[in-house]
A and B are shown apart, each in its own frame.
Chain A
Amino acid sequence: GAVVSQHPSRVICKSGTSVKIECRSLDFQATTMFWYRQFPKQSLMLMATSNEGSKATYEQGVEKDKFLINHASLTLSTLTVTSAHPEDSSFYICSARDSNSYEQYFGPGTRLTVT
């Protein structure tokens, strides 16, 4: 089956620093990728839709200047959490939509802890 990877799987950073998370589709092209956030014991909430070659679409309440998304190729989207604060600590999960089949595949997630 199709594979989506995320890197890093875990990251701990100090408050005020920036962290970049990568989402890659390994064996298919993805014009569209999605970024979700999940707080402990809660469900996944969509943060933004990442479109290759164009600007991301952010959900209401998600600051686009804080969560920078770059989808520079058909297999890679990055999410940069800028000036991270402890309240940004969460599990970030991406999904990639196969450009041919339109099926969505999820990455394994990235656990971000901001100290």
Chain B
Amino acid sequence: SQQGEEDPQALSIQEGENATMNCSYKTSINNLQWYRQNSGRGLVHLILIRSNEREKHSGRLRVTLDTSKKSSSLLITASRAADTASYFCATVGKATGRRALTFGSGTRLQVQP
């Protein structure tokens, strides 16, 4: 079953604005990853944050992780039209040894030029 829920489901902003997406998950995790997917295309790995980390940066991306609330957020600063895509969080569970990624429901981001 799908582990993560993301909100918002869809987000429309103007170029230059910041976009924040949130992800919640249900079980203990080893790490949480964020992926991007352009319409009809494959996944692009954006960033990985480990369970003992609270915040991580990569270029215009900032990811936070709160394991006590089982939630993560992805912030894209100074958005560009090219950032238009769907964004998914994905986790690898800790307890069961499950190695496959479990994906959140995704946020569809539209950046208006």
- Total interface residues in chain A, CB < 8 Å: 21
Q: How many A-B residue pairs have CB under 8 A?
A: 43
Q: Which residue of B lies closest to A61 (CB)?
A: B1
CA distance A111 to B105 in the complex (A): 20
B88 to A43, Cβ gap below 8 A? yes
A97 to B106, Cβ gap below 8 A? no
Q: Interface majority SS on A: helix, strand, loop or mixed?
A: strand
- Total interface residues in chain B, CB < 8 Å: 17
Is B103's CB within 8 Å of the partner chain A? Answer: yes
A44 to B103, Cβ gap below 8 A? yes
Question: What is the distance, in angstroms, from A57's C-beta to the closest C-beta of chain B?
Answer: 9
A-binding residues in B (CB < 8 A): 2, 35, 40-43, 45, 88, 99-106, 108
B-binding residues in A (CB < 8 A): 32, 34, 36, 41-46, 49, 91, 93, 95, 97, 102, 104, 106-109, 111
